[in-house]
Amino acid sequence: LQLRNNPEMIGTSEQRWMLATSEVDQYLKGHRNRLSDEEKAEIDERVAAGQVDLRFNKTFFGSGDSKIAENAGILSAVVGTIMTMIVTLLISFPIGVMTAIYLEEFAPDNRFTQLIEININNLAAIPSILFGLLGLAIFINFFGVPRSSPLAGGMTLALMTLPVIIIATRTALRSVPDSIRHAAFGVGCSRWQVVRDHVLPLAMPGIMTGSIIGLAQAMGETAPLIIVGMVAFIPDVSASFTQAATVMPAQIFTWSGEPEQAFVEKTAGGILVLLSVLISLNAFAVVLRKKFERRW
């Protein structure tokens, strides 16, 4: 096809760089390998002729998964993680914040609300794999949400993140002094106006911090997403919330089970990418809290 579109290339030569196998890579790095003496001699000749070069592997960040270890990348897992986190945030954040506001500011103090509070605290301590089983039973088997999709994974992680956001929001609301509420009541504000115009803006930094930490925790989860099928082989980037996708923890888990040496290096690279994202999210949460929190 290239020659058809560019006939002037006939009779000319063009230099192309190709990815070497993991065994060649290990030999060039001085590690243990399974190459024969003849193969090593040929590689040494090509190195001397300038035909072998060690470069930063951009393919790792610009391509999806592949059965060929040297061509495998993490792009599809990164996109799948972003789409899954969007679904998780859109579901868990508004429901969690509204639930916390009701329990903290409006709900009467009776046995029913106390039972709800106890259950919320218990949900925050449940192993994550149980949320995966719940998501499989409810969202996939009962409601028919496509398996392995960011929608199914995001809804499952939303169940797990919801108690964390509720607890963080209630803690942030409690940190607002009662004098703010009494002053607002004193000028004739209704309870909803007090919460909306005075309490909630002051508690928002703490709410955002807790929500970001909850999302970071959900981003690092593997077990519930494996249960809902997000551990499948996905070579292409998902273009829809209902298409099959994978996430970074599941991709790392898949690579870790492959025998090729190149997949071991891909696993280490994926771990570094995931750790970088999680550290960045937690650092952003700390900066957000330090910048906007008020001391009373």
Q: Is 95 helix (H, G, I), strand (E, B) or coil?
A: helix
Residues in the chain: 296
What's residue 85's pLDDT? Answer: 94
249, 217 in Cβ contact below 8 A? no
Instruction: Find the CATH number of the domain harbouring 94.
Output: 1.10.3720.10
Tell me the pLDDT band of 121, cut-offs 50, 70 and 90: confident
The total domain count for the chain is: 2
- 98-117 per-position pLDDT tens digit: 999 999 999 888 888 889 98
Instruction: Examine the domain organization and report whether 188 and 48 are in the same domain.
Output: no
What's residue 2's pLDDT? Answer: 66
Distance CA 296, CA 291 (A): 15
Instruction: Examine the domain organization and report whether 222 and 265 are in the same domain.
Output: yes
Distance CA 235, CA 228 (A): 19
The burial class, CB within 10 Å (0-12 / 13-18 / 19+), for 75 is middle
What's residue 296's pLDDT? Answer: 61
Instruction: Examine the domain organization and report whether 200 and 98 are in the same domain.
Output: yes
Instruction: Examine the domain organization and report whether 50 and 125 are in the same domain.
Output: no
52, 20 in Cβ contact below 8 A? yes
Cα–Cα–Cα angle for 145, 208, 111, rounded to 5 degrees? 75
Instruction: Examine the domain organization and report whether 157 and 51 are in the same domain.
Output: no
Distance CA 280, CA 156 (A): 24
Instruction: Examine the domain organization and report whether 50 and 118 are in the same domain.
Output: no
7 within a domain of the structure (yes/no) = no
Instruction: Examine the domain organization and report whether 269 and 125 are in the same domain.
Output: yes
For residues 296 and 186, the model is more confident at 186
Instruction: Examine the domain organization and report whether 126 and 273 are in the same domain.
Output: yes
Instruction: Examine the domain organization and report whether 127 and 247 are in the same domain.
Output: yes
66, 136 in Cβ contact below 8 A? no
Question: Poorest-confidence range of 119-123, 179-183, 233-237?
Answer: 233-237
Instruction: Examine the domain organization and report whether 47 and 171 are in the same domain.
Output: no
Mean pLDDT, to the nearest integer, of 24-31? 76
Question: 80 is in which domain, residue-wise?
Answer: 75-292
Q: Which residues, at least 6 apart from 133, have a Cβ–Cβ distance to it below 8 Å? A: 227
3 within a domain of the structure (yes/no) = no
148 within a domain of the structure (yes/no) = yes
pLDDT for 84 beyond 90: yes
Mean pLDDT, to the nearest integer, of 83-112? 92
34, 23 in Cβ contact below 8 A? yes
The dihedral region occupied by 127, where left means phi > 0, alpha psi between -120 and 50, and beta the remainder, is beta
261 within a domain of the structure (yes/no) = yes
What's residue 153's pLDDT? Answer: 93
By percentage, how much of the chain surpasses pLDDT 70?
A: 97
Cα dihedral 57→59→60→63 (10° resolution): 180
What's residue 46's pLDDT? Answer: 82
51 within a domain of the structure (yes/no) = yes
Least Cα distance to 237 among 96, 100, 128, 76 occurs for 76
Model's pTM, two decimal places? Answer: 0.84
Instruction: Examine the domain organization and report whether 121 and 247 are in the same domain.
Output: yes
